[in-house]
Chain A
Amino acid sequence: DIQMTQSPSSLSASVGDRVTITCRASQSISNYLNWYQQKPGKAPKLLIYAASSLQSGVPSRFSGSGSGTDFTLTISSLQPEDFATYYCQQSYNTPFTFGPGTKVDIK
């Protein structure tokens, strides 16, 4: 199975900050990398698919980049509604494993 890691595991940030979350795969996954946002008690929400494609309806302050084994999710200007946990997921090979998550909270 492909293992996914994320860093940091948590971070504190202020509204307006630029936030970057990193995801690494244990082997090359080309661009088969997706990012999700999850708020407490809610289902995950797809933000980015295929490493850099913005899901319909997702604000443009979210962006993704990377290929191979290293990927990043960037929030250009953090908004109050962005405080949540973010997960990466590879869709290169089954099982489609998730990273452990990065919790973004208010500084």
Chain B
Amino acid sequence: QVQLVQSGAEVKKPGASVKVSCKASGYTFPSYAISWVRQAPGQGLEWMGWISIYNGNTYYAQNLQGRVTMTTDTSTSTAYMELRSLRSDDTAVYYCARGSRSGTNGMDVWGQGTSVTVSS
């Protein structure tokens, strides 16, 4: 079946980096884009950006520019999101989600989420 499986929970110190993986299966990986969405404890959803698997184009939310990098490995159908210079307010559950190349029809398949805790 179509699914996205994410890597496990992480605990990081302020200033460190985290890299979350998202492995796709059950569909043609390059035919879609992958978005990353995060949710701080008790808060709403924040769209972080996306990557087109087809051509590698990326878009990052302005508040994360310079700290986030989204990449893919088409040989393993895996997407990655790296966030650097972590702060306490980066503590959140991070989701990857599949969307169309244009992004216009929403995100129809989601990973299970990866908890990232930033604490000294």
Contacts and interface: CB of A to CB of B under 8 A. Distances in A.
Interface string A65-107: 0000000000000000000000101011011111111000000
A49 B99 CA distance: 11
**Range for the number of chain B residues in contact with chain A:** 20 to 34
Interface string A39-74: 000011110111001010000000000000000000
B interface majority secondary structure:
strand
Interface in B10-25: none
A interface majority secondary structure:
loop
Nearest to B103: A91
B104 interface: yes
B110 A91 contact: no
Contacts of B99: 91
A38 B44 CA distance: 10
B111 A43 contact: yes
B44 A95 contact: no
Interface residues of A, number: 26
B35 A44 contact: no
Contact of B35 (A48, A49, A96): A96
A101 B37 CA distance: 15
Contacts of B45: 36, 38, 44, 87, 89, 98, 101
B95 interface: yes
A95 B108 contact: no
B62 A95 contact: yes
A50 B105 contact: yes
Contact of A34 (B49, B61, B105, B112): B105
A94 B103 contact: yes
B59 to A, nearest CB: 5
A86 to B, nearest CB: 11
Contacts of B50: 94, 96
A43 B110 contact: yes
Contact of B108 (A38, A55, A98, A101): A55
B9 interface: no
Nearest to B46: A98
Interface of B: 35, 37, 44-47, 49-50, 59, 61-62, 95, 97, 99, 103-108, 110-113
